[in-house]
Chain A
Amino acid sequence: MNVVLLRIAARNLMRQRKRTMLLAGAIAFGIMIVTIINGFAGSFVKNISDNFSYLMGGHVFVSGSEYTPSGKRISIIRDDSVIMQALEDSGQKWVSLQKTSQTIATLIFEGKSMQQTLTGIDLSHSGMIKERLALVDGNWDNISWPNAIIISQSIAKKLNVLPGDVLVAQLQTITGQNNVGEFRVAAITIDSSFVGSMMTYVQLEYLNSLIGLGKNEYMSLGIMLERLEKSGPFANALYTSMKGMGLNLFDRSTKKEDGSMTPFQAMLLEQKTEQWTGTKYRLYTIDDVLAQAQQIVVALDTGSTVVLIVLFAIVMIGISNTFRMAMYERIREIGTMRAIGVQRNEIRSMFLYEALLLALAGAIAGIILALIAMGLLTFISFDPLSPVFLILKRGHFSFYVPPLRAIGNILLIAVLTLVAVYAPANAAAKLPPAEALRTVK
């Protein structure tokens, strides 16, 4: 690299400060927009995954399915001792396990009713419940009631219930028979989020008795890990371990050849169409469930790249014209330089250095502006009951720009600017010195 040429290029940029500021500003604006989109996409999946982990009570899940003698498919894990053994044998670590049964019920209280998904867990021994839920009414001692129900503030308001009130629940058993249960409101939780407001927790044992499951049976085992990122390797190890123990499992890797289905969707289809005897298990992670969210990220990233290219196509036309103008402004200077021995390629390099410095300055300014804008956006607080909450981090925007993505954007801008400036730089390099010196502006 010729340092003298670099210094001349920098000096040239400083000579026309206003013009340089405008060009760098245009580049900075483009980079800022694209970086914000990338930052949003970067945290999108993580936020959704975290929120869904909370909703579903785990990062990795095992559920069981079997057919009744009449051919109806039901969700059930009858005996989990082999799964527990497979967990131990997998050599993986987990934070907590949660056995869950779920059903949709109509909750009724004094003429008011609403449909709600009831999640049955062992309330008395669930650490997750006390850790994640904040009570607005009732107390934790009540959750030991055999028919305890924990509802959110918004549900309590809709049904007009208080702790101690008894709700009637109309629901169906796993085989589709109608049944009625009575739940006593043990506690009312603060609507900390859209997700939280949807959750209604009941005692697993009582719910099982209503939906036709045995005392020790349940529908799904949720495994909470230290970090979401560990769910993939954990699931692979557990899958191998369960297979090794002779359990009948749905294939985790099947995918439609045309790519129209994610492996998880293919697994669900397989579950619907296939017939088997005994219990067949489904092992999946939050990431498997949210594979389509990953497709949204790909779409956002692709969209941001298209925006970047379109914005820079416009900016590049401006830069190319500006450099052509600069070439004519400096035509006698170029002639003088050529006359004192500066070579053609050095004149070309000088212009290209100028363009490169302009691109880098604009890109770095753009990233700094994006960081400031993202910082300011995180201060905006959203209504916890808004569905947007699912893609937010505790009710606020959060951003994560992958470093390689940022570097890639800077390189893309540098290359595009060099391409735009190459033609005027080449024209300047090819100017005959005598002709350039004779030119009168």
Chain B
Amino acid sequence: MHSNVFLKTRGLKKESYFIIILAMLFFVGLNPLLAQSKPDPKALIKQVDDLSDFSGKDFSAVFTIVTQKPGEKDSVTQARIFRRDLKKQFVILILLPEVNKGQGYLREDDNVWFYDPTSRKFSHSSMKENLQNTKAKNSDFTLSTFAEDYTVTKMTDGMVGKFPVWILDLKAKTNEVAYDRVVLYIRKDRTMLLKREDYSVNGRLMRTTAYPKYVELEGRLLPSQILIVDEVNKGEKSQITMAEQSVSPLPDRVFTKAFLEQVSR
């Protein structure tokens, strides 16, 4: 009886080894196929950056930002944005609210200036600062530089709504990037950023941004609606809508301090 059981067990062991080896061969054979379907994460974030890159062309659009804060009336900020990505230049001109009309931001290389028409003075600002009283940062209106600023630490897949997405966990390369950790949710079937999460240095979720609507401009997909949720100030959020987008050439004088002074008169 004992010897029978022993023989049976040996037979089972042999079968198990066979199945394991077969499975390994199967996965090894399948691996190139898997590798093919999983994109290179670095190339993927470069593709996301390229979507917002209008180098060689000028870009302009009107953004309307509706900000909600608990206990406060919704505020509407409208701004016209001019970009020349090749020279790292942008101008943000505030159109609404009426009280802030004429205020503006000018970026020249790495310097950002804020112009106040009341005092007629320029003061130093930064890309990391919020635009007016909204949840959007100045950097949200420029081309993204994920590939330059971050390294991908993890890539998994998941779903955002009904869309299968790649979830990329990014870690800042230096300690001078606004958010130390960013998680991107990129649609699998077509490179589109659907969601973004920004984390603090000590790992706390600070901001969630959703990109529910896109428009096509010059063959590039641009988010036409953005929803930013402040995860620290619970209940505060901004909805950004883009309109009048254009890649028509802009005169050089647009990207000067004199332009901001002139248009605010």
Binding site for B on A (CB under 8 A): 68, 70, 72, 106, 108, 111, 113, 168, 170, 172-173, 175-181, 210, 212
Contact B232 A179 (CB under 8 A): no
Contact B176 A68 (CB under 8 A): yes
Q: A212's closest neighbor in chain B, by CB? A: B175
Query: Chain A residues with Cβ under 8 A from B198's Cβ?
Result: 178
Contact A178 B200 (CB under 8 A): yes
Say yes or no for B153: interface residue by CB 8 A criterion: no
Given contacts A111-B71, A176-B176, 15 further A-B contacts (CB under 8 A): A70-B176, A111-B233, A170-B206, A175-B174, A177-B175, A177-B200, A177-B201, A178-B128, A178-B198, A178-B200, A178-B201, A179-B201, A180-B204, A180-B232, A181-B202
Query: Chain B residues with Cβ under 8 A from A72's Cβ?
Result: 176
Contact A178:B178 (CB < 8 A) given known A111-B70, A173-B201: yes
Nearest-neighbour CB distance to chain A for B173, whole angstroms, equals 11
Q: How long is the Cα–Cα vector from A224 to B33 in the complex, in angstroms?
A: 72
Contact A180 B202 (CB under 8 A): yes
Query: Chain A residues with Cβ under 8 A from B172's Cβ?
Result: 177
Query: Chain A residues with Cβ under 8 A from B235's Cβ?
Result: 111
Interface SS of chain B: helix, strand, loop or mixed? loop
Partner of B179, one of A106, A113, A170, A177: A177
Say yes or no for B126: interface residue by CB 8 A criterion: yes
Q: How long is the Cα–Cα vector from A175 to B178 in the complex, in angstroms?
A: 9
Contact A212 B201 (CB under 8 A): yes
Say yes or no for B180: interface residue by CB 8 A criterion: yes
> Per-residue CB proximity of B73-115 to A under 8 Å, as 1/0?
0000000000000000000000000000000000000000000
Query: Chain B residues with Cβ under 8 A from A177's Cβ?
Result: 172, 175-180, 200-201
Nearest-neighbour CB distance to chain B for A397, whole angstroms, equals 32
Q: A112's closest neighbor in chain B, by CB? A: B71
Contact B128 A176 (CB under 8 A): yes
Query: Chain A residues with Cβ under 8 A from B202's Cβ?
Result: 179-181, 210
Say yes or no for B234: interface residue by CB 8 A criterion: yes
Nearest-neighbour CB distance to chain B for A174, whole angstroms, equals 9
Q: A168's closest neighbor in chain B, by CB? A: B232
> Per-residue CB proximity of B152-195 to A under 8 Å, as 1/0?
00000000000000000000101111111000000000000000
Partner of B232, one of A170, A173, A175, A212: A170
Contact B128 A175 (CB under 8 A): no
Q: B202's closest neighbor in chain A, by CB? A: A179
Query: Chain B residues with Cβ under 8 A from A175's Cβ?
Result: 174-176
Residue picked from B180, B200, B234, most chain A C-beta under 10 Å: B200
Nearest-neighbour CB distance to chain A for B208, whole angstroms, equals 14
